[in-house]
Structure 1
Amino acid sequence: MKKLVVFLGLCLVLVSKAFANDLSLVKNSTIQSGACDLTVHLKNGEFKSDLQRCYISVYDVVFGNLNNKRVAVLVSGEGGGGSGCFSYVRVMEKVGGKYKQISNNIDLGDRIDYKKAYIKGNILYVDYYEHGPNDCMACKPTLHKILRLKLINNKLVKI
């Protein structure tokens, strides 16, 4: 029994290290920005260029399986120099030891309140709040949304 506990503990440590490594790889990968229309290299989940008036911050990374592919879903907040902060979701796949963006960007909107993303049954769900018809843009959004996306031929499609 003691050997089993030690073995399970070792497995947990190895899985945790692999997860941390993959998370670091995603947060230090190259992506296509949605707001700035640039290909950028993230460093620790961030990108900022005053010259190009572009900033990106990773909100969340979710790992799972879509269409029998192990993928990472990257959710980011991005700005292109104006007052807004636009949120985007994209799918990435590990290729040759690095994560590569394999899908288009889906625009979640300006100044949303992102809650979570998860994968269930080959569908990507994104849970967030957006501004309703009576919400001012400076106020917290109140309209709850759950966006459902499928990855079809490496393109995220709303369903």
Structure 2
Amino acid sequence: MSMHVLIVNDTTYEIDVDPRTPLLYVLRNDLGIISPKFGCGLSECGACTVLADGRPVRACCVPVGSLASQKIVTVEGLGTPERPHPLQQAFIDEQAAQCGYCIPGMLMSAQALLAQNSSPTDEQVRQALAGNLCGCGTHIRIVKAIQRAAGIMRREEGRP
């Protein structure tokens, strides 16, 4: 066990854990941040996706000791129920969630994409989500939601 400093959703935490502990367990069990889900435990389904310094990572397989000074963002850091992030609102508007289990990972992968590419094609969206599985099959609605959010975010930034 050793002390680790994590910056999660703009809050700094000091935690005493084995550095090999997967980030997912620290987020859920130690910090009470429950949006990242355990899916496969093999970094293949994307249910546990969070952002580390803006890049999507699989929290089930990333050891907490490898994240020193990186800013971690989960769905809880995107928006609030009162002021949802445009991605969250678009997923609601497009009814992109069915069971909802995959949605936090989808949102985080989409956020990483839109931070790099404000006008992605449908194919670029699909490629960005290739590592995120949805058992309910709402992929078409998810792509539509991400395109809707991209448009909203461009307008908010004053871009066409």
| Same-fold call, TM cutoff 0.5 | no
If asked which structure has higher relative contact order (CA below 8 Å, sep 6+), I would say 2
Q: Which has the higher helix share?
A: 2
Larger Rg computed on CA atoms: 1
So what's the TM-score if we normalise by structure 1?
0.28
Q: Which has the higher strand share?
A: 1
So what's the TM-score if we normalise by structure 2?
0.28
